[in-house]
Amino acid sequence: MKPIISHQDYKTIYSLIQDMPSSQRTKEMGQLQQELDSAARVEESEIAESIIRLNSYFEVKDQASGKTLQLRLVLPKQANLAEQKLSILSPLGVALIGFGEGMVVDWVLPGGPKKLEIIKVVNTPLEAKV
């Protein structure tokens, strides 16, 4: 299963990683770089509305626990879990970018290996995002 990333998101995330001082680079950044490298890169207009990308709202379910999370995937400076805004550099953000509704993603998170089912994805037009 290969993630799908828009050229615009690829450039934004790649620049974020490259601009990060090496002293601040994390394991997740390396994993994100691998995801970017393996991703199918397409034009924004070619990505289905059901694919998680930057600024997507999504609902994901841990298949083992049944716990459901509703979050928005954002750049690190916008991240705020109290507002349900998840950084692209977080383990969960790295795991889910580029995947879509109905998919089950296997990923090792800090709490251990997880099977995460993407229940719903909502992408709003850029001008509607605050």
Block means of pLDDT (10 residues each) for the chain, length 130 residues?
93 91 84 91 93 96 94 95 94 94 90 93 65
List own/partner pairs for 33-36 with CB under 8 A and 24 or more apart: 35/3, 35/94, 35/97, 35/98, 36/5, 36/10
Euclidean distance between CA atoms 13 and 19, whole angstroms: 10
- Give me the residue spans of the domains in the chain: 4-123
The pLDDT assigned to 22 comes to 83
| pTM of the predicted protein model | 0.88
| CATH 3.10.50.30 at 4-123, yes or no | yes
The pLDDT assigned to 130 comes to 41
Instruction: Give backbone dihedrals phi and psi of 123, rounded to 5 degrees, phi first.
Output: -115, 125
The pLDDT assigned to 129 comes to 42
Furthest-apart CA pair in the chain: how many Å?
38
The pLDDT assigned to 25 comes to 82
Cα separations in angstroms, 99 against 18, 35, 40, 50, 56: 23, 11, 11, 8, 11
The pLDDT assigned to 126 comes to 52
